[in-house]
């Protein structure tokens, strides 16, 4: 269970998708954790993966993830919980321009929190630490710091 940059994991997911014969069985579940980060789970009939993202600008995020393991009936049930909402992810790549993933996902912070805490809890601290390290590395850029600070201010403003 090696932690990877989201771009590398997205490439792996695309390769798995291209090989898959049961594309209708793929599922996406997203939720937001108490730190304001998004936990995204993607599953096929056999395996599932987790990506953890943090918004750094209006339409920009950074993330890390890993292959979480085999999928069982309990995880399948959790992956199906929540409200159906549109889903889109654009992942810039080194070789290709980008990988674009779109469709309908389930949105449930409850389900993602349960998956994080009950099923793969030992990896959550590692994912957060890796994401913190990347944010710290990027923080040396003044343009990034300004955009990130503006994004965090937008997130603090409650919607009426």
What pLDDT band is residue 100 in, cutting at 50, 70 and 90?
confident
Asked whether the whole model's pTM tops 0.85, one would answer: no
The DSSP letter of residue 20 is -
96/49 Cα distance (integer angstroms): 22
Task: Report pLDDT digits (tens) over 47-87.
Answer: 999 988 888 777 777 888 889 889 999 999 999 999 999 88
124/94 Cα distance (integer angstroms): 27
What pLDDT band is residue 1 in, cutting at 50, 70 and 90?
low
- Using alpha carbons, select from 32, 39, 43 the residue that is nearest to residue 80: 43
What pLDDT band is residue 160 in, cutting at 50, 70 and 90?
low
Measured in degrees and rounded to the nearest 5, phi and psi for residue 28 equal: -130, 135
């Amino acid at each position: 269970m090696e932690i990877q940059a989201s771009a590398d994991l997205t490439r792996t997911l695309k390769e798995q998708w291209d090989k898959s014969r049961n594309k209708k069985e793929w599922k996406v579940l997203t939720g937001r954790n108490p730190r304001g980060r998004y936990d995204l789970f993607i599953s096929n009939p056999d395996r599932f993966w987790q990506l953890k993202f943090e918004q750094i600008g209006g339409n920009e995020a950074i993330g890390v993830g890993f292959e979480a393991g085999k999928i069982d009936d309990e995880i399948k049930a959790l992956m199906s919980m929540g409200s159906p909402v549109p889903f889109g992810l654009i992942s810039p790549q080194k070789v290709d321009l980008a990988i674009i993933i779109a469709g309908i996902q389930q949105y449930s912070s409850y389900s993602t929190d349960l998956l994080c805490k009950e099923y793969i809890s030992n990896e959550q601290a590692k994912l957060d630490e890796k994401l913190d390290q990347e944010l710290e590395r990027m923080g040396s850029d003044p343009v990034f710091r300004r955009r990130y600070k503006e994004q965090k201010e937008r997130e603090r403003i409650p919607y009426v």
